Chains A and B, each alone.
Chain A
């Protein structure tokens, strides 16, 4: 099968949906001739024109509010936030309007919008352009939250996000844009709320998100050489979360390491760990759950410090070994 990049997969999904449905349009800063800050929408204005590839002023709150309003009245907007850090500016519209309207109105109306936005560190853009704030939005009932790790997933999940009648925050990782995977040309959908076992294993489960999926897979390959069999589970969507697949995996391996790039404190890893602690899988655990996440600092500019601020492959390898050597207290 042909391989395309994650970036191309996102563009392809948007283009397919826009060709099919006049209600779908893209709105954001510099998405026209410039093609978006990361080039995701490059070429789309030529096909769809400036009406549907709608360049906006630098006005994140305004863009988000316009997305909510147009969604409520029959359109299916996709808005691009240039960097996920800027969600802070749009947050009132997303948290207080998009997520709430249908509920407040007693089930009247719906807000089918997608907020697409690049997140994560690794580009040297420092503290205001490198954050992973996904845990924030998972706290808000009414929002769905997606974090694809491969081109294949990005295409299928974006279709599902566009089809969804609720506001969906769709996090794209900047460093994944140029990564390839096999992606069918035809349209397909990956339901929101279906985790993917990216690698099967029997000794330990790693639940990893976004770019950490790839680091976990690298770690798994290294550990295999030492005879350790690692299962890597990628939730793909944080809300709704496929708890079943994660519980099954942990019940099978008896060990769990959770890895994400976002700061560990208050991060989504805590949610996964608690979910397991509350589930029947807890009884299968042979060792305490281990969480790996970003260090509790803003992302620094210096490249060595930047790397040290988030989990790397050796950290994951160590966490796995540590977990496997720790015996749970005899019950």
Chain B
């Protein structure tokens, strides 16, 4: 009898859950590809940062979080928001500046927050969310709540003072927080090797006396496993972990980026050979967790959800000018 490969998953995850994650990765990709098009057509204004190619980090890191668990997000945060249970219709409405959006049209792409789902929000200040995650973990510790906080940030952000101060504080207080670095190789135009002098961002964990873990950020299974171990450690009161997930953003930094700082060959290599969705699909098929047809159904469902979201966003009302003065003070 032929042996089927099994997924080397540490936590127990049902086949259904894994298929849902596959759908979620497509939802993240469709969302950002859609946003890219709307920008090109001038249907969305402002600025935006797309995470196409980074679907496995968001989906994997949030796979085992409950609604009570928290995340802090970044300027490149659409994927985090979706992975933490955000609704794509309310997200798209936000990008269209509509009242039905997550922030009533006041925040836009860079500031989507969904406190009910534990998404403490996306930050336009690089590194701005890192100390905030520490504060959220401090609440959990002081109030004896058993939620964990997963803090997303980029390789570039790890050069901000806020990163170093925050990780140090979380470490000395054994706070239940996971520092999750999405190393997509670039901070805007600066390659990580030019901007840091360590091989891995995770190596910096040693300076703060916490574990540092490097994973392939385009392999959702590795991401799930590492995050699971880190969150379990945090829940046991043993303190923070620094996870570094190596990944790649397929698109430019933001809408106006000629990408002169990298080669087209490099981009092609990541697209063609390390697509996180394609890889997960192969894993699911090989392990006989899902059939080709089932996965196609999931993908189509994601597409449908996006189409509905766009319709919802476009048909939603604009805020009235009175909204300008609301929400300034609580």
Residues of chain A having any CB pair with chain B under 8 Å: 29-30, 32-34, 37, 55, 57-62, 85-86, 89, 123-129, 295-298, 300-305, 308-309
Q: Bound state CA distance, A43 and B232, in angstroms?
A: 50
Alpha-carbon distance A303/B111, docked complex (angstroms): 15
Q: Which of B256-302 contact A (CB under 8 A)?
A: 257, 260-261
Is the Cβ of A126 less than 8 Å from the Cβ of B111?
yes
CB atoms of A301 and B108 under 8 A apart: yes
User: Inside 8 A of A309's CB, which chain B residues have their CB?
Assistant: 324
Chain B 100-128 against A: per-residue CB contact (8 Å), 1 yes, 0 no?
00010111101100000000000111111
Chain B residue at minimum C-beta to C-beta distance from A299? B106
Residues on A with beta carbons closer than 8 Å to the beta carbon of B188: 29-30, 34, 37, 58
Min C-beta distance of B155 to chain A, whole Å: 9
A58 x B157 contact (CB < 8 A): yes
B126 adjacent to A34 (CB under 8 Å)? no
Q: Total A-B residue pairs with C-beta atoms closer than 8 Å?
A: 124
Contact of B107 among A59, A60, A61, A301 (CB under 8 A): A301
Q: Is B97 an interface residue (CB 8 A)?
A: yes
The 16 sampled A-B contact pairs (Cβ below 8 Å) are A30-B190, A33-B261, A34-B189, A57-B159, A58-B126, A58-B187, A59-B161, A124-B46, A124-B108, A125-B108, A300-B323, A301-B106, A301-B108, A302-B108, A303-B97, A304-B97
Known: A123-B47, A127-B107, A301-B108. 6 other contacts (CB 8 A): A30-B189, A125-B47, A126-B111, A127-B111, A295-B325, A305-B324
Interface pairs A-B: 8 shortest CB-CB: A124-B46, A301-B108, A34-B189, A302-B97, A128-B124, A57-B159, A302-B105, A124-B45
In the complex, the answer to whether A308 meets B321 with C-beta atoms within 8 Å is yes
Q: Which residues of A contact B103 (CB under 8 A)?
A: 301
B318 at the interface (CB under 8 A from A): yes
Residues B165-221 near A (CB distance < 8 A): 187-190, 194-196
What class of interface size applies to chain B in its complex with A?
A: 35 or more
Q: Are B107 and A126 in contact (CB under 8 A)?
A: yes
**Interface residues, chain B, with chain A CB atoms under 8 Å away:** 45-47, 94, 97-98, 103, 105-108, 110-111, 123-128, 156-157, 159-162, 187-190, 194-196, 257, 260-261, 318-319, 321, 323-325, 328
Are the CB atoms of B105 and A300 closer together than 8 Å? yes
> A65: nearest residue on chain B (CB-CB)?
B161
Q: Known A62-B161, A128-B123; judge A34-B46 contact (CB<8 A).
A: no
Given A58-B126, A126-B111, the answer on whether A305 and B106 have CB atoms closer than 8 Å is yes
- Bound CA–CA A89/B161 (angstroms): 9
CB within 8 A of B97: which of A33, A89, A127, A301? A301
Smallest Cβ-Cβ distance to A55: which chain B residue: B190
**CB atoms of B47 and A124 under 8 A apart:** yes
CA of A128 to CA of B106, assembled, Å: 12
Is the Cβ of B124 less than 8 Å from the Cβ of A305? no
Closest to A38 in B: B256
Q: Which listed residue, B110, B162, B187, touches A125 by the CB 8 Å rule?
A: B110
